[in-house]
Amino acid sequence: MELIQSWRCFDGEQRVYRHDSTSTGTPMEFAVFLPRRALNGEECPTLMFLSGLTCTWENMVSKAGSQRAAAEMGMIIVAPDTSPRGDDVADDDGWDMGKSAGFYLNATQEPWAKHYRMEEYITQELPEILEEHFPIDLSALGITGHSMGGHGALTLAMKNPGLFKSVSAFAPIVNPINCPWGEKAFSGYLGEDRSTWANYDACELLKSRGWKGRILIDQGSADGFLEEQLKPWVFEKACRDEGVDLTLRMHGGYDHSYYCIASFMQDHIAWHYDELV
């Protein structure tokens, strides 16, 4: 791994690393905030944050305001990138597919299948790297995310309950098989056989796999994507039908931006800390 940036922050360090990924076949970057306890070599609970469409690790690091709360609670925060990148990586003319829009899945269709292996990267390769290089206890690992990253957090947690012990989300795409963003991405990455899409849909995974813990979702009522793309009430019904403990908090006047995330990020860090410790 190559350390490419580091900043002192709340008596800890905010760092950015680059490494060659065996999953994507490309260089990948991820950010990690290390509180003072971690810098002293103490094992810390860890929260992984998955960013949304058009984003990289930098959006979360610079806009979410996570470092102060993480420093106070002694929690490591990891923010991976949203897709593979490079000159030979397939891309799309739209902003909602291709680079910065990996949807945290393993693509099966060309030209995407060669590099778009984000599910494998997030659930297998990255945890191994984190455990090797940082004082992380993988038995105390949670996951959260925003929008497309919220979709990734929910689906990857339900598919990997042995890895992720807690899950939350900000304005997640909860039913991608029935929204324009998901239909476009899944058609391209997974093909036209919609039966394969259910493996990446939080509502469908609740029916097939369930979730034994609690789930926290924050959603702004002024979010311009609420009605067509996000539809949190569909996930709320699925949780109710499957007996899953969901706290869905709707916030008047908040939109889809990081202003909303920054307003409630401390709540999520504290919530994961209580779940993990």
Residues serving a catalytic function are 147, 223, 256
5: left (phi over 0), alpha (psi -120 to 50) or beta: beta
Tell me the two tokens of residue 230: 């996000």
- Counted residue by residue, the chain has a size of 277
Q: Among 259, 170, 274, 165, which residue's Cα sits nearest to residue 211?
A: 165
Strands 12-20, 2-9: pairing kind: antiparallel
Secondary structure (3-state) at 118: helix
Q: Which of 77, 75, 74 has the alpha carbon at shortest distance from 64?
A: 77
Mark 187-223 as b/e (b = at least 16 C-beta within 10 Å). ebbbeeeeeebebbbbbbbbeeeebeeebbbbbbeeb
Neighbours of 255 (CB within 10 A): 16
Q: Helix, strand, coil proportions of the chain in percent (round to 5)?
A: 40, 25, 35
